[in-house]
Amino acid sequence: MPDHAPIFLTLDVPSSSKTCDRVSVSKGVSWNRATDTDILAYKETLRVCLDEIELPLDALHCSVEGQLMCSCPDHANDLIEYHSQIILSLKIAASRCIPHRRKKGLAGWSTLVNPLKEDAIFWNKIWMDCGRANSGWVYNIRRKTRAKYRQAVRFVLNNQDKLSAERMAQALERNASRDLWQEVSRRKGGSSPSTESIDDVEGNEQVRILFIDKYDELYSSVSYDKQEMKQLCFDVDREASLICGMGKCSSKHHFTALDVRKAVKKLKGGKSDARPSISSDNFIKACDELCVHLSLFLSALLTSSLAPPAMLESVLVPIPKSRKKSVCVSSNY
Ligand SMILES: [Zn+2]
Ligand SMILES: [Zn+2]
């Protein structure tokens, strides 16, 4: 034993632990503009948020045991809550760490208008400080800078097509592929055209019903024997409860984190959900812990035959076959 006397030290250091406040998430985010640092921060924040989720152990256990299919109403509610907590974590982490969407600017505004605007504001301020005289050289400069600014605004507003074509050409020249595609989507007008009347019906609600019918018709256009289909469903249900439900099945009834990771790797970036605050990037850029949560959650769904209502939502986006033809005719979609 060395003969040193031990020194004891007590430190009073203020520290803060990261928590994931479940605050409301508002605006959409722009994954395109996220830097590597943003993505790292997203992963880290998501990890903290997911860590705070209370696992619905009973529901997961009931399902994993898999003696029989879990059909407890309490467990169903627990799983729905688990789902919404995972989604909320994805939204919160993205909203905190990923840059928010910018309003699209007019082509040429920042280069042609902004410098003149600043000039005009500068000379206007000097003119005001000089006592707002109605003549003299300050008054003349203020008048000129103001006129140039207004002229530039008019020019930019009247020449959007030309300016945006120029901006597109410049992007091509610099080989900045991202700028080019931004420009293309801006010119396309982004979303699909909308119309208040299609065929003989008027109003959003009626148009919605029309498209639901069309969709229904499309997906049941291949003929089938109703009785045969009924029998098939019955057989599948019976086998699932007699073989899978009794644990006599050799197939696996769960997803591993690796399965989820493989599936996520196949996702294409920039695909939005029905609710635009979640996109495929939320999953692609997530931390590994998300795969663990999703594997638990999806496995539980498989044995409880449940799907949270939010997962059942689907959105039909009508895409016109030809933009030259009328958007008011349903056969053009
Ligand atoms: Zn259960
Ligand atoms: Zn099975």
Distance from the alpha carbon of residue 71 to the mean position of ligand 1, in angstroms: 5
Distance from the alpha carbon of residue 73 to the mean position of ligand 1, in angstroms: 7
Distance from the alpha carbon of residue 58 to the mean position of ligand 1, in angstroms: 7
What percentage of the chain has pLDDT greater than the value 70?
Answer: 85
Digit-coded pLDDT (tens) for 221-258: 888 888 999 999 999 888 887 887 777 888 887 899 99
Please tell me the pTM assigned to this model.
Answer: 0.65
pLDDT of 321 higher than 60: yes
- Residue 288 confidence (pLDDT): 95
Task: Give the C-alpha separation, 250 to 244, whole Å.
Answer: 8
Q: CA nearest 305: which of 232, 243, 241, 242?
A: 241
Average pLDDT over residues 153-164: 87
Provide the pLDDT confidence category of residue 72 given band limits of 50, 70 and 90: confident
Pick from 23-37, 154-168, 190-204, 211-225: least confident: 190-204
Provide the pLDDT confidence category of residue 101 given band limits of 50, 70 and 90: confident
Ligand closest to the CA atom of residue 247: 2
Distance from the alpha carbon of residue 303 to the mean position of ligand 2, in angstroms: 10
Distance from the alpha carbon of residue 202 to the mean position of ligand 2, in angstroms: 49
Distance from the alpha carbon of residue 142 to the mean position of ligand 2, in angstroms: 81
pLDDT of 59 higher than 90: no
- Residue 162 confidence (pLDDT): 87
Place of tokens 């299919």: 69
What percentage of the chain has pLDDT greater than the value 90?
Answer: 36
Pick from 32-46, 165-179, 214-228: least confident: 165-179
Average pLDDT over residues 150-164: 89
> What's the burial of 231, exposed, middle or buried (CB within 10 Å: 0-12/13-18/19+)?
exposed
Distances (CA, A) of 330 to 79, 82, 194, 240, 322: 40, 40, 12, 41, 12
Of these ranges, 10-14, 70-74, 117-121, the one predicted with the greatest mean pLDDT is: 117-121
Question: 285, 39 in Cβ contact below 8 A?
Answer: yes
Provide the pLDDT confidence category of residue 177 given band limits of 50, 70 and 90: low
pLDDT of 111 higher than 60: yes
Ligand closest to the CA atom of residue 62: 1
Task: Give the C-alpha separation, 183 to 167, whole Å.
Answer: 8
Digit-coded pLDDT (tens) for 12-27: 877 655 666 655 555 6
Encoding tokens for residue 53? 């989720």
Distance from the alpha carbon of residue 242 to the mean position of ligand 2, in angstroms: 9
Ligand closest to the CA atom of residue 75: 1
- Residue 93 confidence (pLDDT): 94
Digit-coded pLDDT (tens) for 247-291: 788 888 789 999 999 999 999 988 877 666 789 999 999 999 999
- Residue 285 confidence (pLDDT): 95
Encoding tokens for residue 229? 């289909």
Pick from 62-71, 101-110, 214-223: least confident: 62-71
Place of tokens 């990037």: 281
- Residue 22 confidence (pLDDT): 59
Which long-range contacts link 208-211 to residues 24+ away (Cβ below 8 Å)? 210/330, 211/316, 211/318, 211/330, 211/333
Distance from the alpha carbon of residue 160 to the mean position of ligand 2, in angstroms: 60
Pick from 117-131, 183-197, 266-280: least confident: 183-197
Distance from the alpha carbon of residue 83 to the mean position of ligand 2, in angstroms: 24
Task: Give the C-alpha separation, 108 to 244, whole Å.
Answer: 64
Distance from the alpha carbon of residue 66 to the mean position of ligand 1, in angstroms: 9
